[in-house]
Structures are given as C-alpha cells and as structure tokens.
Structure 1
Amino acid sequence: MAAAALKLSPYSDPRQQCFQTEFKPTKGRTFLSSRNPLLPLPKPHRYSFKCCCLPSSSSSSTNSITPFQYYSFLDEPFRGSRVLTNEELEKLKALESFVYLQELESGSLWVRVMRTEDLDLTVRLLALSFAESMFMSLQYETLLRFFVNQYLLERRASMPHAVTLVGFYREQGGKRGEELAGTVEVCFDKRGATASPPTPTAPNSSPYICNMTVTKELRRRGIGWHLLKASEELISRMTSSKEVYLHCRMIDEAPFNMYIKAGYNVIQTDGVLILLTLQRRKYLMCKKLPVSNSFPESCISESGEEINV
C-alpha cells in the first residue's frame, strides 16, 4: 500500500507556522523538503559580535537575562562528514556566539540558534502550529512531528548557510522559568536555500526569512516582532547581501502590517490560480537592510510603537 509523503514548503508567518502541504503516493517513507547562561567565546574573530537589544531603562532584576554557556556546533552529529571551509568555520563560530536580548513589558526574551536539546520542543511547537493553521485534528500531531523533525535535521545539515533560531521567554515574577516562545528559520545564501520554495519565488541567492511561529499562549507580546529583528541582525552580520525576502499570506493582516512597519514592501503577489492547489495566496516582500560594518557596543532599544504579535 502506498504511503503518503508530506511535502513541506515553508513561508513566513509570525503568529503561526505555515507549511504548505502536498500528499503524493510513494513506495516508501520519504521526506521531501522545500526550503542557560552563555559565556563569551574565548577568542574573538571577525564574525563575532554582541546583539544586545535591551532598553536603557532595564534593571538588573532577578528576571534579567544572563549570559549563556559556550556551545559548539562542531560537536553535533548533524554535521556528518562534510568538510567545512575556513570561512564556513568562522561563520559557524559566529552562530555559536549569537544572542539577541530584549526586555519586554511582561518579561525577558532571548533569541539564539537552536541546539540539539531544543529540537524536541521546536518540533512540537511547529507541529502544533502547522496543525492549527491547516485546521487539522491533533490526532495527526505524531505524524506531523515526524516530518517536521526530519525537516529540521535536514536544514541543520546546511549550517552555516541556513539556521533555525529559537526564542526563550521568562515572565516577570513568574515561577515557570524560561519557556520556548517562538522560532524562525533564516536562509543566508544559495547553498542554504530550500529546494522547493513557495511562490512567488524569491531569489535563492538572497537571504530569506521563513517558518516563523510564536507559542500560542505567548502571542501579542511583541515576540514575533523581535524574532524578525533578531533574524535581520544575524543576516546583516552573516552576509554581504542587504536584500532580505519573506512571504506573507494575504489573509494575515496583522503580520502584513508588522512587515510594512518593519520596512518590507510587496514586490509580487500570487496569482488566483494558486487557489486551485488549495494554497493561500501570498505576498513576496522585500527589505533592504541598512549597511552595518560593526554592531554597536552599547545596547539599543527599539524606537517607535511596537506591533504586538
């Protein structure tokens, strides 16, 4: 009996994971992809930087974010036997040291690259959000987790050309401790581009943000906004290209407004024929990032009114 292979083609939505689905008969199970405290690195390098976005009014309370322990992606089994160039090694070290910190009104948020111990939580979040966006029964969650897990492992093998970021949140005065607040995927170049990108198709040689989702109980706190800003900060340090692309479904008004506020412009729109494939029409949006030769040592706060997502 033919098995059903789930084809996942991601695009960006700061409130929920938005995989496109396509069921195809196959002869076997295959996965078809589309696209705690941290110590500083012992030795700086040209890609090393701090990404601290803490308001000037933040205080050293018990809920303040502390540095993280040093972590090496070179020790992870996902790399396989692929030999990295010197440039790739430098970029991988930059990903190890990357952390984006932000004090929100309701608590603290920090964003870093997903590690091995984060995989199960991230898979669960994406599977639940995917089921929600597609109005699927939670009885399919186990199957969804399997495919999402395979997808994330495949994408991690492309590091440092693409990366999955995870955001952790600690509520002020809360006793629950830190919890996974959201995730987002960032593709930096052609080697990190997905195999079957959604339409309208973005240039595969340009940075691309996708698969953004926020934990349902933590939405409307600005977490989606800061996942987006963390992605842009990392892109500005990891690539020379300053044009970044993302997709937004036409029905998602709040994310669309957030992207417009963040400086993204619609450059192409899905045609109506895409509806025949049971997919939502999408905008392809693009933003030119400002040129930044070095990240400022002082902490920077976000200016202007923030859209809560």
Structure 2
Amino acid sequence: MAAAPPLSPTLYLDHKQHQHFHNPTKALPFPSSRKNPLLSLQRLHLFNCRCSLPSSSSTTTTNSVTPPHYSSFHDDPFRGTRFLSNEELENLKALECFVYLQDLESGSLSVRVMRTDEMDLTAELLAESFAESMLMPLGYGVLMRFLVKQYLMERRAVMPHAVTLVGYFNGEKGNELAGTVEVCFDERGANASPPTPLPPNSSPYICNMTVTKHLRRRGIGWHLLKASEELISEMASSKEVYLHCRMIDEAPFNMYLKAGYEVVRTDNIFILFTLQRRKHLMRKKLPGCNSFPESDSDDELES
C-alpha cells in the first residue's frame, strides 16, 4: 500500500517514496520538536507499503477498552513538561483507549498507539524500510535506527496533536509487529517541513506508513490506513485527510483511489532537479467511520 512522507528537515519515511540524503554528520544536535531530527536525510517518505487488500468478508471493530498493560500517556517521559489543556487531556485519554481490531485470512490484526517501550522496535522497522527502498549499505543501519528513533521521540512530544500507530499481527508465529503509520490531526501536530506539494497544516495528514516485509500482501497496509481514518474521525475537527503518493507507484496509487482519495495537486517536473521523485498530493473527505470501502480478496499490491 502506501506510504509516508519525506525526511530532510522532516522525517517522513516513505517505503518507496524515500527522499534524499544530506551529510548524516549534520544531524546533531537535533532541532526542536516540530523539526524533523533526520536533518541529514532529505525527507524519507515511507508512504508506500506493499501489501494486499483484505477480503470483503473480514470484519472490523474499534475497541474502546484500554488494555491493562498501558501506562498513562500523561506520564510519558517523552511528553515533556508542556501544560496540557482539558481538551488535550481528554484527547490523550482517547488515544490510550483506541484499539482497531480486524480479522484477516491468516490471522488477526490489532492497531493502537505506540508505547514508549515499542519505540526501538518501531524505529527498526522504519529504518529497514527506508534502507531497503534506498538500497543503502548495511553500515548505515545503525545510524538510520538512531536517527529514526530521535524522530519518533520528537513526534511523541506533540501528542495528542499527532501520534504513531503500530499494528500487531497474530498468526502462525504469534504476535509480531506488522506495521506502523503516523497520523497528524491538526496544525500543532504538523511537521515543520512537509513534502511537496504542500498539504494544509490545519488538516489531518497520514504518513510514514510501512508493513513488515514478510507480512505484506495480507491487507495490513489497507487496515493501517483504515485505522488512521477512524482515529482521525474521532480526534480531528477537520475531516479532509491528506497524504502523498509518488507518481511511479502505481499499486499504492490505485489503492488510494479505491479508498476514496483523489489527486488535488502534483509536483512540478522541476522537482526532479532536487533529486526527489514527483508526488501526488491526495485528499479524502471522511464521511463517517463505517463508510470505508471493502476491497476484493484478489486485489494485491505488488512489491
């Protein structure tokens, strides 16, 4: 499926939509929370996950019960000491309670907000996806994981205005991390340097989505997108959701169209001179939580 945004002054890990490199040694010290710590890497779009769309017979539920192992996001060590309004405290509580459950053909998927003790695992998945799309040498793996974790820590500090979701697949190998996606709800959660074409800061934005390599083509990417939209319907005042898709990524593009997104703008050809791929900015107006289309079981995204 689709992906994530860039990374340069901002991190956006994009499976196929990677961005570019600057000198990695310039990544430190890290900027303030709204700046992407991955300054060394020119916008990482992680948008394009490779996976299949789910069977039309599958069922979806959103559980409002907080799992007992959750610690309060209000006490999160990465949140800092910023004063939270009553509305923000309520939104934090809603994020704690959000769980998206889905039965798949070969197991089940649960999507929820990433916990602090899952940050290393999530950073590793994002770093591997970016390295794979960029054909990076193995020696960059440690650096990439470090930079991505710094990004996740900084994005964690803007909760509840943006959040990182993780999906766990329970199948033959037990419960394992299956994918991740970042959701920005409003202007305070927006990245300081989003990819082009620029989306409106005040609107919800989906990015940095990827699926674990051996779990692709099972519908996980589709449901990460669906879970993101359901959470946006609960958390955001604006229901116009934006994301990016590279022009060369036909399968993710078709999936977005199937999910109800439309192209609103496309990069000018001169973006190629900045060593970036041309991208579509796509938008969907959410009508309601239960209106997400079902996909046919034979719809698959090629890797």
Smaller-chain TM-score bracket = 0.7 to 0.9
* Alignment-derived partner of residue 167 in structure 2: 167
Per-residue CA shift, 1:188-220, capped at 9, x if unaligned? 000000010000000000000000000011111
Change (3 A) 1:237 1:25: closer
- Distance in 2, matches of 1:259 and 1:55, equals 17
1:138 and 2:138 correspond: yes
* Alignment-derived partner of residue 48 in structure 2: none
Structure number with higher relative contact order (C-alpha < 8 Å, ≥ 6 residues apart)? 2
* Aligned-residue offset at 1:24: 4.8
SS of structure 1 residue aligned to 2:202: coil
- Contact between 2:9 and 2:192, CA under 8 Å: does it hold in 1? no
1:286 and 2:277 correspond: no
* Alignment-derived partner of residue 195 in structure 1: 192
1:107 and 2:70 correspond: no
Match of 1:303 among 290, 294, 298: 294
Report the residue type matching 1:102 in the other structure.
Q
1:272 and 2:263 correspond: no
Structure (1 or 2) with the larger CA radius of gyration: 1
Match of 1:237 among 224, 234, 237: 234
- Please list, as runs of the form range in 1=range in 2, the aligned pairs for 1:1-309 lying within 5 A after superposition: 7=8, 9-11=10-12, 16=15, 18-24=17-23, 29-31=28-30, 33-34=35-36, 68-69=67-68, 71=70, 72-171=72-171, 174=172, 176-291=173-288, 303-305=294-296, 307-309=299-301
Report the residue type matching 2:122 in the other structure.
T
SS of structure 2 residue aligned to 1:168: strand
- Distance in 2, matches of 1:25 and 1:56, equals 47
* Aligned-residue offset at 1:70: 5.2
Change (3 A) 1:218 1:26: closer
Change (3 A) 1:302 1:282: closer
Query: Normalised by the size of structure 1, how large is the TM-score?
Result: 0.80
* Aligned-residue offset at 1:227: 0.2
Change (3 A) 1:278 1:219: same
SS of structure 2 residue aligned to 1:136: coil
- Contact between 1:55 and 1:103, CA under 8 Å: does it hold in 2? no
Query: Normalised by the size of structure 2, how large is the TM-score?
Result: 0.81
SS of structure 2 residue aligned to 1:9: coil
- Contact between 1:10 and 1:18, CA under 8 Å: does it hold in 2? no
Report the residue type matching 1:92 in the other structure.
L
SS of structure 2 residue aligned to 1:220: coil
Change (3 A) 1:55 1:261: closer
Per-residue CA shift, 1:143-179, capped at 9, x if unaligned? 00111010000000000000000000011xx2x2100
* Alignment-derived partner of residue 44 in structure 1: none
* Aligned-residue offset at 1:308: 3.6
- Contact between 1:182 and 1:213, CA under 8 Å: does it hold in 2? yes
Change (3 A) 1:11 1:143: closer
- Contact between 1:242 and 1:291, CA under 8 Å: does it hold in 2? no
- Distance in 2, matches of 1:67 and 1:94, equals 9
What is the identity percentage for the equivalent residue pairs of Structure 1 and Structure 2?
66
**What's the C-alpha RMSD, in Å, of the aligned pairs?**
2.7
- Contact between 2:58 and 2:103, CA under 8 Å: does it hold in 1? no
* Aligned-residue offset at 1:273: 1.1
* Aligned-residue offset at 1:118: 0.9
* Aligned-residue offset at 1:75: 2.0
* Unaligned runs of at least 5 residues, structure 2: 1-6, 38-53, 60-64
